[in-house]
Structure 1
Amino acid sequence: MTSSASPGLARLNSATASDAAGLLHEVCASRSWGAAVIAGRPYQDLDALFAASDAAMAGLTADDLAEAMAGHPPIGRPKPGDPTSEREQAGVQESVREELLELNLAYQDAHGHVFLICATGRTGDQMLAALKERIGNDTDTEREIVRAELGKINRIRLTRLAAEGDPS
């Protein structure tokens, strides 16, 4: 548990709404999620911030989720120059990258958005297996899986934000 003495949490708590929105946009691209998290400030500790993030994630509409997903590059192709994207996808080896990209295109055709998974700590083979498993899901099932995966990603990024003050 991180106390309010952590530099990042103190920074988030004391930031103007505009500055806090900028910090939180680096965690999650959904403006609705960011607004809900901002509205809950100040946070005493990381657990309180997680609870607010989880509640905000649960309340996102399909359009809000689409906005959040738009902030994520396809698995296997991290955003060039983006240290967060590169770090989170570090487990993808070149030998798996091409198949991931190919299946991600098929997934996009089926679901209308990139395949989203919390990549941190997963190998490329694990992500490929999850993609193969999830590609046939119906849209409603996949939307809830994406919501859960976004929640995991947000927690990892919020932990970094709370500790360092910079989610990247």
Structure 2
Amino acid sequence: MDIKQFNQLNLGEANLVLQPCVHIPSWIAKLVQQRPYAAIDELYQAANAQAQTWQWHEIAEALAQHPRIGEKKAAANLSQKEQQFSQQEQGQVEPDTVLQQALYQGNLEYEHKFGHIFLIRAAGRTGMEILAELQRRLKNTIEQEQQEVKQQLAEIALIRLKQEIQ
């Protein structure tokens, strides 16, 4: 879809287009309300700016909708579009059983420490790079990790937005 088509959608349709990008209703509502956008870059800039305003409770709710990194299939409660995004984003995570086990164990340790899933922009990263990031981030404080999660979620949302609206 191009920016002109997005600008012309009714409120409900526009919400549906943005929903697979991130489960943060305030982000979706703000981007829809700010239409029309003169150019696609204006939408991307607005999306990035709005992501910087996210509060932790919104992020925590969005995390509940994300599959764990390294899971073979996206969660069944995700829309078809979200499952496709997840599969594309994690496509470079090698099916190596040792790596899968290390990611699984790291995820458990991470969830025990931070109380939520490990979230990372998987697109463009190998499984080994993701594992290295997981191990590095396990050393973070809760506050440091919340900032990293916010940044990673924003990157994922913007990648998905760029795939939806060009």
State the TM-score, normalizing by the size of structure 1. 0.87
Residue 125, structure 1, aligned to residue 123, structure 2: no
Q: Distance in 2 between matches of 1:149 and 1:67?
A: 15
Percent sequence identity is 32
2:45 aligns with: 51
Counterpart AA for 1:22: L
Contact persistence 1:76–1:98 (CA under 8 A): no
Q: Distance in 2 between matches of 1:43 and 1:69?
A: 29
Q: Distance in 2 between matches of 1:46 and 1:147?
A: 23
Q: CA RMSD in A?
A: 1.5
Moved over 4 A (4+): none
- The CA deviation string for residues 60-113 of structure 1, in whole angstroms up to 9 with x for no partner, is 111111122223211001406722111100111122122112211211111111
Aligned residue-pair number: 157
Contact persistence 1:46–1:159 (CA under 8 A): no
Q: Deviation of residue 122 (structure 1)? A: 0.4
Q: Distance in 2 between matches of 1:148 and 1:27?
A: 14
Give ranges in structure 2 of 5+ residues lacking alignment. Answer: none
Counterpart AA for 1:135: L
Indicate the SS of the match to 1:26. coil
Q: Deviation of residue 41 (structure 1)? A: 1.1
Give ranges in structure 1 of 5+ residues lacking alignment. Answer: 1-6, 164-168
Counterpart AA for 1:133: R
2:93 aligns with: 92
Residue 159, structure 1, aligned to residue 162, structure 2: yes
2:74 aligns with: 79
Indicate the SS of the match to 1:146. helix
State the TM-score, normalizing by the size of structure 2. 0.88
Contact persistence 1:107–1:135 (CA under 8 A): yes
Within a 5 Å distance, the mapping from 1:61-80 to structure 2 comes to 61-77=55-71, 78-79=73-74
1:148 aligns with: 151
Q: Deviation of residue 18 (structure 1)? A: 1.7
Indicate the SS of the match to 1:94. coil
2:2 aligns with: 8
